[in-house]
Structure 1
């Protein structure tokens, strides 16, 4: 296996990790922005107000997008890793 093949697998792995994390990070970003805006407007500075909704949203989005994340990971392994292993 050449260095080019190793770097190509690493690039694919990083891109797969980005694609798998996008739904969770996107929802967390939106919820954090909305809660921060509400806190700024109402002057409520409670730490649990930001923590609990984000955790709940992450858990819900994780279970809703679990199939998508599994599909992305399987596509990466089937198209990139397994052909290198089988030769």
Structure 2
């Protein structure tokens, strides 16, 4: 395998990981900011107030986007990695 093919496969793998992680990270950021704003406005400093809603939102988004993640990874493996493994 030459360097160009190696780096192109690595670049595609990193881009796939960015695509897959974006929904979860975006929801964690939005929920974290909303809860932080709520805590600042109400002066409530409870640790579980930040952890539990954020965890629930992340789990919900993971559950909803699981099909997208699976199809994206399956496409990457079938279209790029498997042909490289069999020498195509």
TM-score, shorter chain, exceeding 0.5: yes
Give the alignment's TM-score, normalised by structure 2: 0.93
Secondary structure of the residue aligned to 1:45 is coil
Give the Cα separation in 1 of the matches to 2:84 and 2:18. Answer: 22
Give the Cα separation in 2 of the matches to 1:78 and 1:26. Answer: 28
Gaps of 5+ in 1: none
Matches within 5 A, 1:2-81: 2-81=2-81
Give the Cα separation in 2 of the matches to 1:66 and 1:23. Answer: 11
Moved over 4 A (4+): none
CA RMSD in angstroms, aligned pairs only: 0.9
State how many pairs are aligned: 87
Gaps of 5+ in 2: none
